[in-house]
Structure 1
């Protein structure tokens, strides 16, 4: 059995290639803000490890200045799930991963981390996946997932 034949191993194949990214991020996270900051960016993704994962490079054009970041996604065929690791160019290290799967065209991924010194639960949602577009959303929870605050949305358009 090859990794490509394991259910779920090709879930992120839609992401391979080059994209323009329209970002929206809450001005202040976990503070009750409803003000969104909008900015642009680009992303290029490619498969790695013979299809067991993928890697993307991002240019994020925040109003305060542009920076680079990347993502490593790895599929574990034994567990049938993905692990996603973010690397922010402003503080280059692997962030805590989120883990999950796709069901009915939506990818849902959860992880544990801290934000401004307090423990949080993180959720990533991949949705609205089409040949030339996709949507990603990040949300934080301070109550173990009982409630969520969406705080970053990326709308992808294929270049």
Structure 2
């Protein structure tokens, strides 16, 4: 994985850090979900994280549950679906104590690559700041 991340979020920052990492994903529950393990090599130091993704056949939506090794708890889930090959997921969180909307977008530009980006909105989704982009390629 190649990461590109804003050094400071929702602060008008335009300085991006670039770094590497790895991710390994496995299907679970007969295809109704997957689980990934990430090693993220940020300039501030390496850490591990994981994601549990579950498909809900009754709604056609996925839920995404992130666990960060630096603060091991399950973050509030994001919910969404894939349309036209693009997955868009929304959730609620907070940054420095203020509530935000959170958006993840998953794309697959080629059969061997994928792209993910994260954006925050501090105004209820009127405007979005993309603050993290990951480019994936198969090992």
TM-score bracket for this pair, using the shorter chain length = over 0.9
Q: Which residue of 1 aligns with 2:32?
A: 52
What is the root-mean-square deviation in Å for CA atoms of aligned residues? 0.7
Aligned residues: 139
Counterpart Cα distance in 2 of 1:113 and 1:92: 16
Q: Which residue of 2 aligns with 1:153?
A: 133
Verify the 8 A CA contact 1:86 1:94 in the aligned structure 2.
Answer: yes
Map 1:78-93 onto structure 2 (within 5 A).
78-93=58-73
Counterpart Cα distance in 2 of 1:125 and 1:25: 15
Counterpart Cα distance in 2 of 1:88 and 1:130: 28
1:72 and 2:52 aligned:
yes
TM-superposed CA distance for 1:75, in Å, is: 0.3
- Bigger relative CO (Cα 8 Å, ≥ 6 apart): 1
Unaligned runs of 5+ in 2: none
Map 1:6-155 onto structure 2 (within 5 A).
21-155=1-135
TM-superposed CA distance for 1:64, in Å, is: 1.1
Q: Deviations over 1:58-86 (max 9, x none)?
A: 00001111000000000000011000000
The structure 1 segments of at least 4 consecutive aligned residues displaced by more than 6 Å after TM superposition are: none
Q: With the length of structure 1 as denominator, give the TM-score of the two structures.
A: 0.86
TM-superposed CA distance for 1:130, in Å, is: 2.4
1:50 is paired with a residue of what secondary structure? Answer: helix
Q: With the length of structure 2 as denominator, give the TM-score of the two structures.
A: 0.98
TM-superposed CA distance for 1:131, in Å, is: 1.7
Structure 1 or 2: more strand by fraction: 2
Unaligned runs of 5+ in 1: 1-20
TM-superposed CA distance for 1:35, in Å, is: 0.6
